[in-house]
Amino acid sequence: MNLNISLIGAPTDIGAGSRGASMGPEALRVANIVTVLEGLGLNVQDRGNLTGPHNPWLPPVDGYRHLQEVAQWNQSVHDAVYAELAQKRLPILLGGDHCLGLGSISAVARHCRATGQKLRVLWLDAHADFNTAALTPSGNIHGMPVACLCGYGPDVLTHIGGQVPAIEAKWVRQIGIRSVDEGEKRLVHSAGLEVFDMRYIDEMGMRAAMELALALVDANTHLHVSFDVDFLDPDIAPGVGTTVRGGPTYREAQLCMEMIADTGRLASLDVMELNPAFDVRNKTAEVAVDLIESLFGKSTLMRKTR
């Protein structure tokens, strides 16, 4: 794995349905993300925060809230993530709401085209984030990034990575899903996304889900993890805007991260939707940093390394 890490803060809640994810990057820093990663022997550069338009908090226009502002933020994220990848560094995007997964992953996809790598996206989330303007009940664009990446969305969002669609649905594995709108569900199926929802994890276990989600990841695969903190059960992670009961437990989430680490292919990461306004003594940020530590190879198991 790449030992050179760059942190990119994106302090905005421009695509969300509640305010506060804009404080996410600082909460992760307060939870010692830099020293924890350095403790694993990684070289960490904190690039500070991107800037962008303020949140005007307006109702939807033609099915989108804040479309131009969302596009601006995503362009900044795209440019910053792409620049780090071009310097052979591993970018960690500190969100910010999950609409920014669009900018991040479209940059990753562009990098993979330039380097001839295969891309695998693991989307860890309670939600499929596959809404469109026609389907969305709210107009909040944080419910749309996966659809936009797959080409379903307005031009100003789908074109950010320089190719439409930015990615193919079959490159994505969604894990932990438990809240999908009715019309969104049909689009997820017709687009052909592979989804390991909570029922799958309940019945088959996290291990089986992750073995399938990581199948065929090889030495030429760029593995991107888009970690929406609402993936986790609200008992351990209350600090998000859209809690959904029945998510992975602490141990299940650790196993998920450890199995990703075992591949040695992690090459970029988003940590999204952390909302300190809903948190309790920063515990969600601390859990997130704990899990990130495992994602970068800390083993909690008494197991000899190979």
Q: Which residues are catalytic?
A: 98, 125, 127, 129, 142, 228, 230, 273
Record the tokens describing residue 305, joined without a space.
Answer: 């390394």
- Could you tell me the CA-to-CA distances from 232 to 47, 94, 177 in Å, in that order? 27, 17, 10
- Evaluate the CA torsion angle 215, 219, 220, 224 in order and state its sign: positive
| Binding to Mn ion in span 61-120, by CB under 5 A | 98
Nearest to 260 by CA among 293, 305, 306: 293
Show the site string, 35-54: x = touches Mn ion by CB under 5 A, - = not: --------------------
Q: How far is the CB of 288 from Mn ion (least distance, A)?
A: 14
Distance CA(162)–CA(72), nearest Å, equals 15
* Of residues 36 and 99, the one with the C-beta less far from Mn ion: 99
Q: How far is the CB of 16 from Mn ion (least distance, A)?
A: 10
Taking CB under 5 A as the binding criterion, the range among 25-33, 49-57, 160-168, 225-233 that sits at the site for Mn ion is 225-233
Distance CA(98)–CA(123), nearest Å, equals 11
Per CB under 5 A, 125 contacts Mn ion: yes
Q: How far is the CB of 295 from Mn ion (least distance, A)?
A: 17
* Of residues 171 and 227, the one with the C-beta less far from Mn ion: 227
Q: How far is the CB of 143 from Mn ion (least distance, A)?
A: 7
Residue from 228, 233, 252, 270 that binds Mn ion (CB under 5 A)? 228
Contact 147, 130 (CB under 8 A): yes
* Of residues 139 and 297, the one with the C-beta less far from Mn ion: 139
Pairing of strands 221-228, 266-272: parallel
* Of residues 84 and 129, the one with the C-beta less far from Mn ion: 129
- How many binding residues for Mn ion (CB under 5 A)? 4
Per CB under 5 A, 184 contacts Mn ion: no
Per CB under 5 A, 129 contacts Mn ion: yes
Peptide bond into 165 cis (omega under 30): yes
- Could you tell me the CA-to-CA distances from 187 to 63, 109, 124 in Å, in that order? 17, 22, 19
Q: Please give the residue ranges that form the binding site for Mn ion (CB under 5 A).
A: 98, 125, 129, 228
